[in-house]
Amino acid sequence: MSKAVYLLVVEGFADWEPAHAVAEVRRHGQFRVETVGLTREAVQSMGGLNILPSKAVGELDIADVAAFILPGGDRWERASVEPELATLLAQLDRAAVPIAAICGATVAIARLGLVRGRRHTSNGLEYLRAHVPGYADASAYVDAPAVRDRKLITASGLADVEFARELFEELGVFDPGERALWAQVFRSAQLPTGAD
């Protein structure tokens, strides 16, 4: 059985941000997709979807994780990262398991120090400065929709397509030409000339 791509689902998570990524890693990457919560209790996404996590953070086997996705949501700006989630992310980072954070979730990984020494992006440099006390990684900040550096993927909340593309590259989903075409089609909303 293949490793799983784990999607963190917490109350109010931005359900659309990881949607392209999880659909394609499952369909074309042949990865299992699992949802993980702080507990196994049901949560409601920002869009009102009720999700029952398949596992709790404390139940994850690091050896089973192909990648870990943290979607955005308003919670990241208001609350500190729960200790059990902080522990898991540190373990994943030490094990060189890809971590992918989009939108407000970039605040969480910056607060935990996971961006140190790595190129990264977010919803803007000033956004990170405003929400991460003591943020001192501006020299590694890249003003780009999505950035991938040494197993860490970060993206703006407006860059769900680019976020997915970087995860595909990290996990070897599609070949380079297919990834570029996929991103072009979903970003432009136009099929290439001659496509059925």
Burial class, 67, CB count within 10 angstroms (exposed 0-12 / middle 13-18 / buried 19+) = buried
171-185: per-residue pLDDT in tens?
999 999 999 999 999
Mean pLDDT, range 14-43, rounded to an integer: 97
Could you tell me the pLDDT band of residue 14, with boundaries at 50, 70 and 90? very high
* Predicted pLDDT of residue 1: 60
Could you tell me the pLDDT band of residue 2, with boundaries at 50, 70 and 90? confident
- Higher pLDDT among residues 192 and 148, named by residue: 148
Confidence (pTM): 0.96
The per-residue pLDDT of the chain, averaged, comes to 96
Mean pLDDT, range 93-112, rounded to an integer: 98
* Predicted pLDDT of residue 195: 67
* pLDDT higher than 90, residue 52: yes
Q: Choosing from 7, 66, 103, 109, which is the catalytic residue?
A: 103
31 catalytically annotated: no
* Predicted pLDDT of residue 193: 81
* Predicted pLDDT of residue 110: 98
Mean pLDDT, range 86-101, rounded to an integer: 98
* pLDDT higher than 80, residue 196: no
Which tokens go with 72?
A: 């955005």
